[in-house]
Structure 1
C-alpha cells in the first residue's frame, strides 16, 4: 500500500492551464509559440475553419492543445506557423497537438492566407422584433463562410460597399466594428432614432456573439522542458488518433427511438433497396434535410434537429428516399455525373430529391417539361457555383422556387441560378482545376455528350467510375515554356486543359503532350485516338492548336466549343468579354 500511496503523490509530468485565443494569436504572431519540424503542413480546408469558428462562437469545447516548453539553448528544429513573418526570436513553446486549430484561428482573425472568413449579421437578428436571436436559433452554417481571394467570382466580399449592402464583415475585423456598425445602421434605417437603435443592437451582437473570438480559452497541456523525446513522440501519436464524429442523424436516431421511428433500421433498409445511395455515398442526413424541405420548407440544421418530428419522418421518408435515388439516376444517366467523385455538389441533391416524387406523378408531357426544367436548374446551379456558400439557405430557396416553377402554369418564380445565370467567357477560360463545381461540371458535361475512352474507344459513361482520372492535354513544362503575352493563360491547371481518361491511360501519357502520345502509335490507333480526342470537344485537325502545339489557340478553340455546350444545357447565354 505504501508503494501505491507514494505513486499517487507523484507530481504529473505536465501542467494544464486555460489560454485565450487572443493571447495565443499574439504569441503566434510574435513567434513565441511555434511548431516542431516534424509537424505536417497546415492542411485544413476552409470548411474546417468555418466549423471551428462556429464552435468558438457557440462556446463549445474544441479540444485540448498540447505544447512543449523549450530552453533557450535547446537545439530542436522548429518552424513558424503558416502566414507568420520571422521575428528572429526563438520560441518559448512548440505546439505538439493543435496546429490546425491554431493556424485556422490565427489566419481567420488576422486576415492572412488564401482564404478570408466572413460573418453575416442578419442571421443573428430577428428584424421583425429587432432583437437578437438565441444562439440555438441562429443558423451558423449560413452565418459564417469562407472566400478564396485567388478566384474570380460574381461578387467580391472584400469590397466595403458589398459588405455594407450584404451586412457582412470579415472575421479579421471583429475588434474594429463600431464605425462599420454605424455605417450599416445608417444604410438600413433612414430614421435617425431607428438607426441609433439598430446600431446599439449591433453592438450588443458584437458583445454577445463575437467576444469569444478574443476570450475563448483552450485548455493547454504544457509539457516541461525535460520531457523525454520518447514520451513526447508517444503523447503526440496518441493525441492524433481521431474518433468517430457524432452526426445530426445520430442525434435524431436517439430522439425518435422512443416514438417508434427507427431511423437506423430505415436507413439500412434504404441502402439495400436503393443501391445508388450507397454507390454515391449519400449521407443519411441529406435525406432528413429533403424531408424537412417537404415538411417545413427548410433545410437549416436547427430546423432539422429541433422541428422535424417523428410523424413527419414517417410521412415523408419513402418519397424522400425514392426521390433521392431517382435524382441520382437522373444525374448519372442524363447529366454525366457517373459517381460521387464527379458530382459537383452533394447539397444540390436535397432540393432536387424533395421535388422529384411530385414530378413522377405528372402526366407524360408535363413530366418531360418538368425534367427539362430540372436539368436546366442543375446545370445553371453548377456553372454559377450557387452552392459554394450558404448551401442550406440556398436549398430552401431553391426548393420553394422549384415547386412554383415546375408545377405552376407560369414561370413567375424561377430559381435564382436560372434567373440570374452569370458566366463569362473570361471566367470559363481562366477557371482553374481547383474550382470544383465548374471543373466537375465541364468534365461531366463532356461525358453527357459522349466523350470516348482513349483505350477502348467506348463512351466514358460505360467505364467503372473509379477508373476515371484527368490528364493535361498540354503538360506543365510545355505551358510554362510558352511565350504568351497574357500571363493568366500561361497556366497548366486551367480546366480547359483537362480531359477525362482511365487511370491506365493517364500513366501511359505521363508528362507528354497528348499529341506526342498519339504520334507514337501506329496509323490505325492514331485515327481512333484522334476521334477520341475530338469527342472531348478538342479540335485536332490541321491548323488546330493541338496540331500546332499552340496552347493559347487550343484554349480558345476549346473555349468556344465548351461554351456552346454550357449554353445548350443551361438555356442561358454566356457573357462574352472578348477573351
Structure 2
C-alpha cells in the first residue's frame, strides 16, 4: 500500500456526506484536551500528523458502520471505512465546527524566542460549562471580548465555503464596525485559515477485496497514534466479527437494565471479568483475550442476570458503591455464582448464608492481598462445589491461613478512602449497623450514601494540635464515621464531646438521640464523651491525656466490632441474627 494525499476540505466533505464512516466496532472518542490542542497546533505549524488507514467499500459493507461523532445524517452511501485515524479526524471536525460542549478553542500568537521572537500561532482551549441555561464563560461567544483578549475563534478556520460571511460578520462585531480594522482582522483570520484548508492528512487504502478478518487484524495491530486500544476495544472488534453483534450496544443495554453497575466498576470491566469467571478462568487481561466470544453472546442474558443479582446482594449487605466496596474482586465471583444458586427456598437460604460468609471474609481477611484474580477463581470453584454438595474446601474459609483480624489489627487499619480492604471492611461493618445520619436520622442507603463523607470522630485538628500527634495516626478506620456534610462541618474543629453538644444545640434532636444515632455507627459513646482538654494547663499533660483517650476510644470501638465481624463472617444476617450461643456442657453425674 502507498500513502495517498488528501486535504482537509476533502476529508470534511466525506464526513459531511457520510461517504466515510466508522466500523461499528470502533471505540468511542478517547482524546482529551491535550491531544486535541496538540493536533491543532500541528496543523498551524505545518507539521505532519501521520497517515490514516481506510478500507474501500464496494457495494455491501463488510462491517456494520456508524457515522463519525458530530457528523450529520448521511446523504450518500458509504464508500470508505476509517480503520485508523478516527481520533484525529473527529478532533479536527468537532473543534473546527465548535461541537465540543465542554471546551472552545482559540488561536493566539506568541513570540517564538528560538526564532528571533517571531510570532507563532498557538492554541488555547477554554473550558465551558452551563449555568441557568447560559454557557459560561460568556465572553467566549462575544466577538468584542474575544478580540480584546487577542484570540481568534477556531470555528472561523473551518475549510467550508459558507464560512466567509461568518468571518466578516464576526470581524465587524469584534471591531465595533470599524471598517479598516474589520478588514485587517478578516485578512489575519483568512491567513491563519489557509493552514487548515491546505492541511494534508494522507491515507493508506485497503482494497475492498480484503477479507474482513485480515482488516480486523490490521486494525488491532495498527491502532493507535497516542492512546492504545484497550483489551475491551480489541474484544469489541473481535466480538462483532464473530457474532455480528455490537458489544458496545450490549454494554449500553447492561447499564440501562442494571444502572447500579456503574456505581461499582466500569461496565466494560464487569463484562469481561464475569465472562472469564463463567468460563472458569481467572479475570486477567491475558484470559480476556482468550474468551469464547460465541459463548459470551449466547450467555449474555445470564451474565446480566448474574450482575443484577450480585449488586442486589451487595446492597442488601449495605455496600452501595465502589467507593465503599472493600474489594472489587467479589463482584464477578458473585455474578458468576448466580446460575449455581439453588432454587428451593431452604437450600437457597443456606447458599446465601454461605455467600455472605464468603463476602465478609473477603472483606476482612488478607485473602486477596496477593494473586487476587487466581484466588477469586479458586474460591468461586469451591463455592460451586459446596452448592453441589461436594465439600472440597473453600480457601477463603481457612482460618489458619486467613484468620480474622484481632482488636490490635483493627486499631491499626488505615483510612477507608484509601484502597485498603480491611479499612473499608471496618467501615462496611459500621454501615451494616445502620449508620443513621446524626442530623436527619436517616439510615444509610444507596441514595443517601452519596451525601455522606468520611469524618474524624476524634477531630484531626485536636489530635494534631493539642494532641501533638502526626497526621497519619489520625487517619484510622476506627476513627472514621460516614456522616452528612452538616455534621461534618459543625464537628470538625471541636472535641469528641461536641457530638453531644450538637444534640443540645438542636433542641428537636437532644443528646440522647445523638447517642442512639452514634450507636448505629458502632461508636462507643462513653469513650467518645471526652473533652475539656483546655482545662489542663501543661501542654505535655494535655497531649498525653488526648492520646490516652484516643487509644481508649479506638480499642473500645474495635471491641464493639468483634461480635458483628464474627457473626457476618459466619454467614449470619447481622444485626437480625447474632452468633449462635455456645451450648453449656452437661453436668457430670455424681
Counterpart check, 1:253 vs 2:232? no
Q: Cα deviations across residues 15-63 of structure 1 (Å, max 9, x unaligned)? A: xxxxxxxxxxxxxxxxxxxxxxxxxxxxxxxxxxxxxxxxxxxxxxxx9
Match of 2:421 in 1: 437
- How far apart are the structure 1 equivalents of 2:278 and 2:286? 16
Counterpart check, 1:327 vs 2:310? yes
Match of 2:322 in 1: 340
- How far apart are the structure 2 equivalents of 1:525 and 1:416? 45
SS at match of 1:469: strand
Match of 1:83 in 2: none
Q: Cα deviations across residues 62-104 of structure 1 (Å, max 9, x unaligned)? A: x9xxxxxxxxxxxxxxxxxxxxxxxxxxxxxxxxxxxxxxxxx
**Runs of 4+ residues deviating >6 angstroms:** 227-238, 487-490
Q: Closer, same or farther in 2 for the Cα pair 1:525/1:506, shift >3 Å?
A: same
- How far apart are the structure 1 equivalents of 2:467 and 2:491? 24
- Which of 488, 499, 513 aligns to 2:495? It is 513
- How far apart are the structure 2 equivalents of 1:535 and 1:339? 20
Counterpart check, 1:532 vs 2:517? yes
Contact 2:326 2:419 in 1 (8 A): no
Match of 1:500 in 2: 482
1:463 Cα deviation after fit: 4.7
- Which of 411, 416, 424 aligns to 2:396? It is 416
Contact 1:324 1:353 in 2 (8 A): yes
- How far apart are the structure 1 equivalents of 2:570 and 2:328? 23
Q: Closer, same or farther in 2 for the Cα pair 1:277/1:351, shift >3 Å?
A: same
Q: Closer, same or farther in 2 for the Cα pair 1:352/1:453, shift >3 Å?
A: same
Match of 1:263 in 2: 247
SS at match of 1:386: coil
The unaligned stretches of length 5 or more in structure 1 are 1-62, 64-223, 573-579
- How far apart are the structure 2 equivalents of 1:562 and 1:229? 68
Q: Closer, same or farther in 2 for the Cα pair 1:476/1:537, shift >3 Å?
A: same
User: TM-score, length-normalised on structure 1?
Assistant: 0.53
Q: Cα deviations across residues 101-140 of structure 1 (Å, max 9, x unaligned)? A: xxxxxxxxxxxxxxxxxxxxxxxxxxxxxxxxxxxxxxxx
1:571 Cα deviation after fit: 2.5
- How far apart are the structure 1 equivalents of 2:117 and 2:512? 63
1:256 Cα deviation after fit: 1.7
- How far apart are the structure 1 equivalents of 2:555 and 2:334? 34
Q: Cα deviations across residues 138-185 of structure 1 (Å, max 9, x unaligned)? A: xxxxxxxxxxxxxxxxxxxxxxxxxxxxxxxxxxxxxxxxxxxxxxxx
- How far apart are the structure 2 equivalents of 1:510 and 1:286? 38
- How far apart are the structure 1 equivalents of 2:120 and 2:318? 50
- Which of 273, 279, 283 aligns to 2:267? It is 283
SS at match of 2:486: helix
- How far apart are the structure 2 equivalents of 1:231 and 1:339? 52
- How far apart are the structure 1 equivalents of 2:560 and 2:410? 12
- How far apart are the structure 2 equivalents of 1:228 and 1:399? 68
1:536 Cα deviation after fit: 1.3
Q: Closer, same or farther in 2 for the Cα pair 1:472/1:255, shift >3 Å?
A: same
SS at match of 2:559: helix
C-alpha RMSD of the superposition: 3.4
Match of 1:295 in 2: 279
For structure 1, which segment, 455-464 or 495-504, has the greater mean C-alpha deviation from structure 2 after superposition? 455-464
Q: Cα deviations across residues 374-401 of structure 1 (Å, max 9, x unaligned)? A: 1111111111243333232222222222
Q: Closer, same or farther in 2 for the Cα pair 1:300/1:505, shift >3 Å?
A: same
Q: Closer, same or farther in 2 for the Cα pair 1:358/1:540, shift >3 Å?
A: same
- How far apart are the structure 1 equivalents of 2:245 and 2:402? 42
Q: Closer, same or farther in 2 for the Cα pair 1:228/1:251, shift >3 Å?
A: farther
1:283 Cα deviation after fit: 2.6
SS at match of 1:342: coil
- How far apart are the structure 2 equivalents of 1:460 and 1:230? 62
Q: Closer, same or farther in 2 for the Cα pair 1:314/1:295, shift >3 Å?
A: same
Match of 1:44 in 2: none
- How far apart are the structure 2 equivalents of 1:389 and 1:279? 25
Q: Closer, same or farther in 2 for the Cα pair 1:401/1:476, shift >3 Å?
A: same
SS at match of 2:525: coil
- How far apart are the structure 2 equivalents of 1:289 and 1:382? 19
Q: Closer, same or farther in 2 for the Cα pair 1:458/1:375, shift >3 Å?
A: same
Q: Closer, same or farther in 2 for the Cα pair 1:230/1:528, shift >3 Å?
A: farther
1:6-45 matches, within 5 Å, as none
User: TM-score, length-normalised on structure 2?
Assistant: 0.52
Q: Closer, same or farther in 2 for the Cα pair 1:514/1:488, shift >3 Å?
A: closer
- How far apart are the structure 2 equivalents of 1:452 and 1:528? 11
Q: Closer, same or farther in 2 for the Cα pair 1:452/1:233, shift >3 Å?
A: farther
Tell me the matched-pair count. 340
Contact 1:337 1:343 in 2 (8 A): yes
1:243 Cα deviation after fit: 7.0
